[in-house]
Chain A
């Protein structure tokens, strides 16, 4: 009995078939499975583990105290008590301390000149010299924060002593020393740890890159074997091909996304100051975007291995274009434009914002950008599929 099939019925049937085929191909391709499983499942764990603590505490420093007075000793004691550094060596000369630094036994030197106490007693300005190992910015940050905090503290103490000597004490002295006071709030990341800013970004970036390299590998394979996915449509409609394949990846990447942005961070106690549903909403938009982004750009891939060899270098570039470390306001114009090409630019920013502020309202601009991007990439992906289909048909004839 011949069944009458409506256009819509046929469309749904085609789409479902393409969806099922694509899922089947993903599962049976061990290269793609390796990328999805290893990069999609193991990388999130690994990055959380590597950057788990993310701070260098008690960094070893060397001290050269040529003054040996009460002020210099107090300064050194206070620095040693700071969380960031620990005094590991007491050196007699700067040369000795430098040698320790060259051997990487210490990562900072604090040098107190012989006139330090004398100058302070004479009410002159005394100087402390610091030498930071710049091989890693974290060393520099530790030494700078510790020595400056203690310096400000000491400054206030010394001023208080001097005003006390001049007859001002208590409230009077405070008013003179700190006529303007401040409260500081280091928000979201009070220990200034490395973990937070890198890991949030990495979780979203992994999704995009895994999707791109994985699906391009598969598309490349099909083209190489002369059975491009565009031939699967019975009619001329490319929409069902793009959407059918898209659904297959949507399913996979929503799962990987929930795993990477919710499950793993919770497992590692990374703060998520938002409802899990908010992250899910973001994922629904972001995953759609990365899928059509990947479809569009994979149009140029004709062989399966070439995508990794030729385009893996894009990963570090996309990472920096999210502005996670070098702020967006500092981007040269051209690179700002380039950053709009990647879904990760908006996805990573939105995820970080969400984790800090917890409201969907705050990420409205990013969601809007992701939606526009999704629309553009969907059209481009369909267009590319259409062109490819035409070329293919022409070749067959």
Chain B
């Protein structure tokens, strides 16, 4: 016990001597959190620029443009020609445009069914494209409804019946786990957790391997009574506390004042966070054991953790990855944390649903056992290139 306390004290002393530990964890998380939590604003885009080429310029077409402009999502930008609108869309300044044909008004009145052209830049599947597409289609259907309504009114049909005639079927959509379809709710949680994971990998592998670079590993072993396992275990205690506290603060801020959806219990999520921290530390220990040089182990940690964002499954579901790569996703604790998150935060299904993810995260803790002896050897002999 005395030994553990000594090593922890030595580690805390190192933190005050080299700022990299605290800047790399606390500083990084703070900067990332400030960025992402302010970046998405209210989480739903407003006033997306939508182009309109009004070649008719009649009261009917102007009315359509005005109504499109008045929707919460869209803001109309007028263009004189299709070529101009097309160019703006290619350069990404507008995400969609509508072409209202010449003699639009006359043809509507005469029931000649004029055709509008709706051009959408579908490069951006979530925000620009899909949403402005929905907005424009909504408006076209509303215009249709308005024309029908005039006709039906003239025939003396009552208002309630008109509505059911215009739209006999309505869809009542429920979005489980993100009612306002907020982009922030969807992304921030996992991105910030992913950055935390990245920070754990980098800081912990830096801490373990810098003992070799600065030739202080024997001193550490001596404090640990020549037991590499004890030394590494004790050395990681302050990091575990630091990162768990950071993760806890993150979750409390998101689920608390920012009202991110949490259907289940906060305690379960905190448990998942603790397991995530431990799992990533375990991988960092493994990396340093296999490649006991500072520069290479930090490089490998970086290269490994960047891919975590793609393999966690929150952008593209794991099941739609190529099969050979689905297995690769098992190497990422973030993937299991995400499964846990879906079960607990989105569906609130409790222990019965997430215990498998929790066990998977625990399995990562066995990984360091493979290489700890090798790391011990490196700590004693310091026989690897220092740089």
Contact = CB atoms under 8 A, between A and B. Distances in A.
Given A136-B315, A197-B125, A332-B39, A313 B174 contact: no
A352 interface: yes
Interface stretch (A12-20, A49-57, A234-242, A369-377): A49-57
A35 B377 CA distance: 27
Contact of A102 (B203, B320, B343): B343
Interface string B176-208: 111001010110000100110011001100100
A235 B301 CA distance: 41
Contacts of A349: 91-92
Contacts of A101: 176, 347
A367 to B, nearest CB: 12
B314 interface: yes
B219 interface: no
Contact of B171 (A51, A148, A317): A148
Interface in B19-34: 20, 23-24, 27-28, 31-32
Interface stretch (A85-93, A118-126, A247-255, A380-388): A118-126
A323 B296 CA distance: 33
Nearest to B161: A123
A152 B141 contact: yes
A47 B310 contact: yes
Contact of A186 (B120, B167, B299): B120
A305 B299 CA distance: 8
A32 to B, nearest CB: 9
B51 interface: no
A341 interface: no
A329 B118 CA distance: 21
Contacts of A55: 320
Mostly helix, strand, loop or mixed at chain A's interface? helix
A115 interface: no
Interface string A323-362: 1111111111011000000000000010011001100001
A127 interface: yes
B40 A54 contact: no
B142 to A, nearest CB: 10
Given A134-B346, A186-B133, A332 B38 contact: yes
B12 to A, nearest CB: 18
B81 to A, nearest CB: 16
B236 interface: no
Contacts of A316: 32, 191, 194-195, 309
B75 to A, nearest CB: 8
Interface of A: 30-31, 34-35, 38-39, 46-47, 49-56, 75, 101-104, 120, 123-141, 144-145, 147-148, 151-152, 154-155, 158-159, 162, 174-190, 192-194, 196-198, 213, 217, 221, 304-306, 308-310, 312-313, 315-317, 320, 323-332, 334-335, 349, 352-353, 356-357, 362-363, 365
Given A136-B317, A305-B298, A335-B39, A102 B125 contact: no
A134 B38 contact: no
B108 A180 contact: yes
Nearest to A198: B315
A159 B296 CA distance: 68
B169 A125 contact: yes
Contacts of B191: 316
A210 B277 CA distance: 27
A151 B90 CA distance: 31
A125 B167 contact: yes
Contacts of B78: none
Contact of B124 (A123, A182, A327): A327
Contact of A31 (B24, B111, B296, B317): B296
Interface in B114-135: 114-130, 133-134
Contacts of B92: 323, 327-328, 349, 352-353
A123 B141 CA distance: 19
B325 interface: yes
B148 interface: yes
Given A130-B172, A308-B302, A141 B126 contact: yes
Nearest to A191: B122
A289 B231 CA distance: 46
A149 to B, nearest CB: 10
Q: Max chain A CB contacts within 10 Å: which of B125, B129, B172?
A: B125
Closest 6 CB pairs of A and B: A134-B178, A357-B90, A179-B147, A175-B111, A125-B164, A189-B122
B245 interface: no
Contact of B317 (A38, A102, A138): A138
Contacts of A213: 302
Contacts of A148: 134, 171
25 contacts: A35-B299, A35-B303, A46-B307, A50-B311, A56-B320, A102-B353, A126-B168, A128-B170, A131-B176, A133-B346, A135-B177, A136-B313, A140-B181, A179-B148, A180-B116, A185-B117, A186-B122, A187-B121, A305-B206, A308-B299, A310-B28, A316-B195, A327-B45, A328-B92, A362-B90
Contact of B120 (A51, A154, A185, A324): A185
Interface in B36-88: 36, 38-41, 45-49, 87
A155 B125 contact: no
Nearest to B28: A313
B353 A103 contact: yes
A159 B165 contact: yes
B143 to A, nearest CB: 5
Contacts of A34: 296, 299-300, 303
Given A175-B111, A180-B108, A315-B306, A324 B124 contact: yes
B113 interface: yes
A159 B167 CA distance: 9
A187 B120 contact: yes
Contacts of A49: 322, 325
